[in-house]
Amino acid sequence: MMKKLLFLLPAAALFTYACSNDFEVSAPWKEIPAVYAILSPKDTAHYIRVEKAFLDPETSALQIAQIADSLYYPENAIQVYLERVITGKRLQMHRVDGNLEGYVRTGGIFATQPNWLYKFKPSPPEDSIFEGETYRFVLVRNDGRPDVTAETTVPSKLQIRNPSPISTPPSINFESGTSTDVTWNTDVNGVFFAVHFRIRYRDEYANGSIVRDTLFWTPVPNVKRSENSSGSFYKGTGSIPAESFYNFLVQNIPAANDRVRYFDGIDITVEGGGGEIERYLETATANSGLTGAEVIPTYTNLSEGFGLFTAKTTTRLNNIRVDEKTIKDINSKSPTKDLNFRFF
């Protein structure tokens, strides 16, 4: 008799959405670990989700999914470690309720309370996560079965090349009909990237009052770096059509004729993830669609079970000025001219 196995694997397009996988299996039941983590040197605390697959021939998997005890190992059944491979030092992680840590689990198929995660907060500083180093996830099961492991190497520091960080101030241009490239350098461990904008602007009224606001935009949600290296560096490029910038402004800023507006600056963050993310996405899309396989393979880099253990790093260039040509373009056509932006 075919049985249904249901488990949770949150994953990242870079940087984090959840999905569930539903398999028909005829093999006898066995415990299957399900693990998810993205390490970042910029984080002050690190979290790993450790769960287990579950199977019951008598009860609906959807019903079991609402029982928290079916999702998690008993606390005394496992130990979870991060191991710094270069030194062999293991950093023990401790179980916490993510809901109390500010990471509330989204409602859906799976039970949301408690939301058990494994946490490590570096102290002393030498126990931090370092760029360019390899880390190993270790799940020790206290019943004597083999440890479950996975490894990832943290990408080294990213360097934004355009807009030029040496300009004073750096500036960016969005002229109608063109595209603007945000470029950066990365090492071999940085493979998939996202580019985020924090757009700061202010409204100035005739009575002298000023109101400031901030918009957040991800014009490049994921892009792969170049395959060709220049020495030890690889180039990443995120191309942004000017019309995308204009459309974002119109959709998020109301027209105004009772005030003038000024950009206070744009902060650009480039976020880069490891090769495991690329392989996960390739696996997820390889057999999708009408011509896909009947059973979609699931990517994992665990020694046993299913999951994603990877790393990312980020860099930011602050206070980028929107140049005068862009402001003139904004004011030369509708509907952007109704936003009433001015140059300094």
Total structural domains within the chain: 2
Interatomic CA distance for residues 277 and 108, integer angstroms? 24
Residues 81 and 216 in one domain: no
Is there a domain that residue 257 lies in? yes
Q: Any residues with CB less than 8 A from the CB of 187 and at least 6 apart, and which?
A: 132, 155, 156, 232, 233, 234
Interatomic CA distance for residues 125 and 139, integer angstroms? 24
Question: Which pLDDT score is estimated for 232?
Answer: 85
Rg for the chain (alpha carbons), in Å? 24
Question: Is 0.85 topped by the overall pTM?
Answer: no
Residues 186 and 128 in one domain: no
Interatomic CA distance for residues 37 and 7, integer angstroms? 16
Q: Are 133 and 126 in contact (CB under 8 A)?
A: no
Q: Are 323 and 173 in contact (CB under 8 A)?
A: yes
Residues 75 and 179 in one domain: no
Residues 58 and 78 in one domain: yes
Token pair listed for 162: 């355009």
Q: Any residues with CB less than 8 A from the CB of 47 and at least 6 apart, and which?
A: 37, 98, 101, 103, 117, 118, 119
Residues 138 and 92 in one domain: yes
Residues 190 and 115 in one domain: no
Is there a domain that residue 13 lies in? yes
Block means of pLDDT (10 residues each) for the chain, length 344 residues? 32 38 44 91 94 68 64 92 95 94 79 86 88 96 95 94 94 95 96 96 96 98 89 93 97 95 97 88 61 58 93 96 96 94 90
Residues 88 and 181 in one domain: no
Q: Any residues with CB less than 8 A from the CB of 59 and at least 6 apart, and which?
A: none
Structural domain harbouring 138: 3-154+299-310
Q: Are 184 and 239 in contact (CB under 8 A)?
A: no
The CATH number of whichever domain residue 183 belongs to comes to: 2.60.40
Residues 74 and 145 in one domain: yes
Is there a domain that residue 93 lies in? yes
Interatomic CA distance for residues 60 and 7, integer angstroms? 13
Is there a domain that residue 278 lies in? no
Q: Are 46 and 323 in contact (CB under 8 A)?
A: no
Token look-up 């690329």 returns: 278
SS3 145: coil
Residues 110 and 12 in one domain: yes
Residues 168 and 137 in one domain: no
C-alpha dist (Å) from residue 303 to 11, 75, 84, 117, 300: 18, 21, 17, 20, 8
Is there a domain that residue 202 lies in? yes
Is there a domain that residue 292 lies in? no
Is there a domain that residue 285 lies in? no
Is there a domain that residue 288 lies in? no
Question: Which pLDDT score is estimated for 12?
Answer: 40
Question: Which pLDDT score is estimated for 281?
Answer: 77
CA 81 to chain centre: 22
Q: Tell me the residue ranges of DSSP E strands in the chain.
A: 3-11, 17-25, 33-39, 46-52, 78-84, 89-97, 116-120, 134-141, 148-153, 159-162, 171-172, 179-186, 192-205, 210-224, 229-230, 233-241, 259-273, 306-322
Residues 334 and 230 in one domain: yes
Q: Are 212 and 187 in contact (CB under 8 A)?
A: no
Q: Any residues with CB less than 8 A from the CB of 255 and at least 6 apart, and which?
A: 335, 338, 339, 340
Residues 330 and 200 in one domain: yes
